[in-house]
Copies of this chain bind each other. A is one copy, B any other.
Amino acid sequence: MGTKGSANRQRIVDAADHLFYSRGYNQTSFSDISDETGIPRGNFYYYFKTKEDILAAVVDARLVEFRVMLQNCEKATTDPLQRLHSLVQFPLHRESQVLKYGCPIGSLSSELVKEQDTEISQARLTAVFDLLKNWIEEQISELGQPARANDFAMDLLARMQGVIILSNVYRDTAFLHKGIKDIQNWLNHTLSN
């Protein structure tokens, strides 16, 4: 175990990760996390100074989760276009959660941009978007179109967020599938120049 070892710490982060996703950060209390882990409230302060510190740990955890996801996209194939397809399909592997709770980074970001105080977690949040954005840019560059990489990455992220939001609001599984298919068609069309 490193500096962040301890099984209990990890259990707290896991429960918080799940609860922040399903209920939202502000709607999740220490009691909720305590109920889910069986670890008493007061104990949290041995591992974290504040609730915001737990949030930071959760965001770090999501960063790791997304890195793993991207690595899986890379393992699947060496073709950058296919890798992008792999990324786009990812929400389908989490379909029921996406329909119920939206995007793990998009919905959390939306909640945290409203935060008046803390600007700290703000930077952490765009870090997850940046991770995806940079990875997409790499794939585009490998396709020999580095000049379009930035614009394209932003467009792709925007489209995915839009499809997920609408699917979530209407709990519309058909639209989620159709929206992703449309993005894939757009991928093929726009990257074959």
Q: Give A residues with C-beta under 8 Å from B.
A: 22-24, 26-27, 100-102, 106-107, 109-111, 113-116, 125-126, 129, 151, 154-155, 157-163, 165-166, 168-170, 172, 175, 178-179, 182
Contacts and interface: CB of A to CB of B under 8 A. Distances in A.
Contacts of A154: 166, 172, 175, 179
Contacts of A101: 113-114
B165 A110 contact: yes
Contacts of A111: 24, 110-111
A129 B162 CA distance: 13
Contacts of A24: 26, 111, 114
9 contacts: A22-B114, A23-B116, A24-B111, A101-B113, A110-B165, A129-B169, A158-B162, A158-B175, A159-B162
Given A113-B168, A179-B158, A26 B26 contact: yes
A90 to B, nearest CB: 16
B163 A158 contact: yes
Contact of A115 (B27, B113, B126, B162): B27
A81 B64 CA distance: 45
